[in-house]
Amino acid sequence: MPDANAHAAVPRWPSLADIAAIAAGGAIGGTARVVIGALLSDPGGWPLATLLANLTGSFLLGALIGLWSRTGLRAGRSGAFLATGVLASFTTFSAVAVETMAALSAGRTFVAAAYPTVSVAAGLAVAAVGLGLTSRVGRGAP
Amino acid sequence: MSIGTYLAVAAAASLGAVARAWTDVAVARLLGRPGPAGVLSVNALGAATAGALAAAAATLEFPAWFVPVVAAGFLGTYTTFSSWMLAALQAGRSQVRVGIGVIVAGVATGAVAVWAGWALATVLL
C-alpha cells in the first residue's frame, strides 16, 4: 500500500501484530463504508455513497502520508492500522468498477462515463490537497 | 441490514484488508521492489471477482446477507481507491508520466477485469 519511502527495500511480511492492526482497521473502515452506503441513496443513479467514501478516504490518506513525510516518521503499527487498515478499507475500487458496469448495462451511458472520470479526477485532486496541506503545516512561514 | 449482517461485514472486511496487505507484499517481493504493482493487482483481481459476483447475483438467488458481506465487506475492502490515488501521486513526483501510467493502468485493468468477470459469469450461468 502507499509508502512514503517508496525507494525502500522490498517489504517484509507483516508480523502477527501488524496483521491484527490491519484487521482491526479494516473492520472499522470497511464497515463505515457499508453504513454510509446504507444511509445514502443514489440520486439520479449516481453512486453517491461510494464517491463520498472514496473522496473522503483519499483526502485523509493523503493528509496522513503528508504528515509522515514532514515529520519523517513512519507510524509503524499505528500506521498499518490507520493507512492500510482504516483508510485503505474505507475506500473501494471494486464498487466503482461494478457500479460503472451496472450503469452501462442499464443504458445510463452518461453515468457510466462520468462517474469513473469524476472519481479519478476528484480523487487525485483531494489526495494531492491532503498531501500538500500536511506536508507544509508548521514549515517556516515568511 | 441486521446487526448480525453488519458484524459479518466487519469480519469480512478484516479478512479483505489482511488479504490486500499480503497480496501487496507478495507482489513487491515477486518484483523485487515496492511500487504500485501491488495495488494495481489487488484492484484488478477484486474487480474481476466483484464483476462475476454481480452477474451471478442477477441470475442466482443468494441469501440476503451474501452480497453485502462478500461484495461490500470482503471485496470492497480487498480493493482500495485511496491507495491507488496515493500510489499515482507518489509515482508522479519523480516522473509525471509514471504517475499518469499508474492511473491509466488502473483504469484499463479495472475495466477489463470487471467486464471479464461479468461476462464469464453471464456465460457460465
Q: What is the per-residue pLDDT across A44-54, written as a single tens digit (0 to 9) for each? A: 778 999 999 99
Q: Residue A71's pLDDT is what?
A: 82
* CB of B110 less than 8 A from some CB of A: yes
Which carries the bigger pLDDT value, residue B53 or residue A10? Answer: B53
Per-residue pLDDT band at A8 (split at 50, 70, 90): low
Per-residue pLDDT band at A4 (split at 50, 70, 90): very low
* CB of B54 less than 8 A from some CB of A: yes
Contacts of B81 in chain A (CB under 8 A): 54, 57-58, 91-93, 96, 119, 123
* CB of A139 less than 8 A from some CB of B: no
Of A19, A58, A100, the CB nearest to B18: A19
Cβ within 8 Å, pair B80-A85: no
Instruction: Identify the closest residue of chain A to B115 by CA–CA distance.
Output: A101
Q: What share of chain A is helix, strand, coil (3-state, %, to 5)?
A: 75, 0, 25
- For residue A6, is pLDDT > 50? no
DSSP codes of every residue in B61-72: ---TTHHIIIII
> Span A37-49, mean pLDDT?
86
Q: Residue A141's pLDDT is what?
A: 40
Contacts of B52 in chain A (CB under 8 A): none
* CB of B20 less than 8 A from some CB of A: yes
Task: Choose the mutation target among A18, A81, A92, A93 for the interface with B, i.e. most B CBs under 10 Å.
Answer: A93
Cβ within 8 Å, pair A89-B13: yes
- Please name the amino acid found at residue B21: A
ipTM for the whole predicted complex goes beyond 0.90:
yes
Q: Are B121 and B58 in contact (CB under 8 A)?
A: no
Q: Residue A74's pLDDT is what?
A: 67
What pTM was estimated for this model as a whole?
Answer: 0.91
Q: Residue B20's pLDDT is what?
A: 97
Cβ within 8 Å, pair B80-A92: yes
Angle between helices A48-71 and A94-105 (to 10 degrees): 150
End-to-end alpha-carbon separation of chain B, Å?
27
- Cell digits for B119? 461476462
Q: Residue A5's pLDDT is what?
A: 44
- Cell digits for A130? 491532503
C-alpha dist (Å) from residue B19 to A11, A20, A107, B112: 15, 12, 34, 22
Instruction: Identify the closest residue of chain B to A37 by CA–CA distance.
Output: B72
Q: Residue A3's pLDDT is what?
A: 47
Segments of chain B with pLDDT less than 50: none
Q: Residue A94's pLDDT is what?
A: 97
Q: How many CA atoms lie within 13 A of A118 on its CB side?
A: 14
Q: Residue A45's pLDDT is what?
A: 78
